[in-house]
Amino acid sequence: MTNSGGLPLSGIRVADFGQFIAIPSATQQFAEMGADVIKVEPPGGEISRNLGMFGESMLRGSNRGKRSIVLDLKHPRDVAVAERLIASSDVVCHNLRPGTMERLGFGVERVRGLNPGIINVSVTGYGPHGPSATRAGLDIAAQAESGLMSVTGEADGDPQRVGVAIVDQTTAYLVVQAVLAALLRRERTGLGDDIQIALLDTAIHMQTMNWMQQDVTGVPARRKGNGQPNMAMAAEVFKASDGHFVLSAYKQEHFARLCEVIGRPSMVHDEKYADARGRLINRRELLDIVGSAFSDRPVQECVKVLSEAGLVSAVIRAYENVLTAADVVDNETFVQATAVDGTSFSVPVPPARSSLFDPAVVGGRVPALGEHTAEILAELGLENAVAAGHE
């Protein structure tokens, strides 16, 4: 177990019954804050251990610095171990299919009976009510049914998923936020909590600005590709001679600076582009004018010139170029961690930099399946026991 006594969640124990991304990613953050995260796995391991390279990426991304215990929760002996583990924990988390924890005997009432002050967290696809309450739900389903895919992609193209498991990852951040708030309240009142988060709710909440725009304009959001539907020169993508870059210059003073940069200072007074409404109506023509000014120049030069003019501009990087970018390297955005087989790999550090985070803890080791079973049993006062799931 990592010595993390100086970290904010030192002394907090988290029983992690999670799989895939949403809960393991949340409990990974708890581990990085110093919590003792015990990964409870069935015989054979949680699903990620059996999905080849895709599963290995989930193990590396969301399971460093945890301790693994193997329990067969269909066996009375291991049910008793899980009961003792929950009774000794501050937080218990799961994202198993709806009804699974109840069938195993660990529904919220049972958990609360074992530990009245426990903070119980469940992540489901669609929430506890409604016709989809018992449906299995993954990130892609939430992207689809929340409307997110309908606003992603080119206007005349098919709906598209976002390029990362963005709903899972955002849900993980929401779990952390809710648990930290619950821990603070428990510190003050002694009360535990039952936290329920649905992937669908997360995906809908992420699009709050779109819902508000629909409310204000009366027009539902639709796919429009790059740029912003209600502004011109906002989040636009342009092609340089050797790559692509993004540019935002929708404020009046910023548009004036852009006109200077492209050598068309009088354009700011042209009635077609003189205000935000005109620029939106004539967006296509405006994009062609600005694009032609940069198409034969190297992308780094384009971004340099625009940035020096005080405009928001950035190179569109491929993953391999992100790893070697000066900002990423100089800010030590990646640290080294250790896989189950002992090999090292690079992993991003938490975005919040402070004395409350230790890079050495972030760069922890992925536990082998059941590696800490005997150790955890001993801590639970079961020194001579053998977990049924580890026989």
Tracing tokens 């002050």 back to the chain, one arrives at 117
* Contact status, residue 270 vs residue 240, Cβ threshold 8 Å: no
CA distance 66 to 364: 8
| Closest to 57 measured CA to CA, from 171, 177, 197, 164 | 164
CA distance 206 to 328: 26
The catalytically annotated residue of 72, 78, 168, 201 is 168
- Cα torsion 339, 344, 347, 349 to 10°: value is 100
* Contact status, residue 45 vs residue 20, Cβ threshold 8 Å: no
Helix (H), strand (E) at residue 193: strand 193-198
Crossing angle of the two packed helices 299-308 and 252-261, in degrees rounded to 10: 130
How does strand 334-338 pair with strand 344-348?
antiparallel
* Contact status, residue 304 vs residue 315, Cβ threshold 8 Å: no
| Closest to 41 measured CA to CA, from 78, 84, 88 | 78
Amino acid (1-letter code) at residue 48: S
* Contact status, residue 121 vs residue 43, Cβ threshold 8 Å: no
In a 3-state reduction of DSSP, which class is residue 302?
A: helix
Has 327 been annotated as catalytic? no
CA distance 180 to 29: 11
Q: Hey, which residues are catalytic here?
A: 168
